[in-house]
Amino acid sequence: MPARSTRRQDDPDPEPRTRERSPTGAQWEIAHGAQRAVVTEVGATLRSYTFGEHPVLAGFGEGEWSDGGRGQVLAPWPNRLGDGHYRFGDLSVQAPLDEPERNNAIHGLVRWLPWRLEVKAQNLVAARCHLFPTPGYPFNLELRVEYRLGRDGLTVSTLATNVGRLTLPFGIGFHPYFRPAAEPIDIALLELPAYERLVLDERGLPTGEVRGVEGTEYDFTEQRAIGPTRLDTAYTGLERGRDRLAWAELTDPAEKLSTRLWMDEGFGYLMCYTGDTLEERDRRRAVALEPMTCPPDALRSGRGLIILERGQRWEGAWGIVPR
């Protein structure tokens, strides 16, 4: 007697186990007017964002993975953590060293995890990630990130909740690369009203020194061309308007296109990276403007670190306005 098939009759795919999937999982597309964005299941990563025919961000293809941190969510710490080691209360914690050449842990733990789709509509998508305790982060944290397109561009809202018994330390950042039409980025105009920077050592870790940027190569408080300036710089001292928002703007003088990044008061730091250490094909093709709640190495220094008691929440938002 022949074996009976176990495939459901309504299964449209006769070989679901062999069907090729994107390395970043499900692709969640949203739209509003001339705007389009794609968020991926892996990492709740912002894979692409376009305005009309113009790619606002330097993203990656559906068949690729996020190299260089493109569009990723960086939590429960953004940027680098020296030696991957930190102490919190009575705990001594060792995170995996995923930047071994500098002996650092980098960009947290959730950017390669699958996120659970919570809401999907025409112009918005929201996903959740429950970060269970691990040796590198022995705390119970739930994250919710929402991407919403509207008349004012793209708004990214985050909710972090301590769902465990232990008080926990927390920081978050995001890693969009802004793409001018002209390449390389040297002729692009950057305006970044930030008046201080953290001095970083050869490992990309803060030395503890904070310097004013006035009159230095790091000064973009007034719009000017990036030129040959190499940036992998943590800015603070951000200027805020009456709406309490800080912002930065990248302008393509040839195409007369500009893109503005804004951050609410939850984000007190902005990392600016000109991509000089990326693979040659991507080097200096886009500028990463990274909203961060804390500076690099915050789990060790405590600077800007968010402390969440049991059941406590944190909320923050940032966004992109193409024009």
pLDDT for position 8 = 42
Q: Residue 244 is encoded by which pair of tokens?
A: 């309490």
CATH class for domain 27-322?
mainly beta
Q: Could you give the CA distance from residue 121 to residue 119 in angstroms, rounded to a whole number? A: 7
* Contact assessment for residue 259 and residue 249, using Cβ atoms and an 8 Å cutoff: yes
Q: Could you give the CA distance from residue 273 to residue 91 in angstroms, rounded to a whole number? A: 33
The pTM assigned to this predicted structure is 0.92
pLDDT for position 94 = 98
Q: Work out the number of other CB atoms within 10 angstroms of the CB of residue 51.
A: 20
In the block, tokens 């305006």 appear at 191
pLDDT for position 74 = 98
Query: Quick one: average pLDDT of 177-195?
Result: 90
164-174 residue pLDDT tens: 999 999 999 99
Among left, alpha and beta (phi > 0; psi -120 to 50; other), residue 52 is: left
Per domain, the residue ranges of the chain are 27-322
Q: Could you give the CA distance from residue 202 to residue 221 in angstroms, rounded to a whole number? A: 25
Q: Residue 227 is encoded by which pair of tokens?
A: 């030129």
Whether residue 11 has pLDDT greater than 60: no
Mean pLDDT of the chain: 93
Q: Could you give the CA distance from residue 259 to residue 289 in angstroms, rounded to a whole number? A: 11
Q: Which of 222, 204, 205 is nearest to 213 (CA)?
A: 222
Query: Quick one: average pLDDT of 276-300?
Result: 94
Per-residue CA distances from 210 to 109, 187, 229 (Å): 28, 28, 19
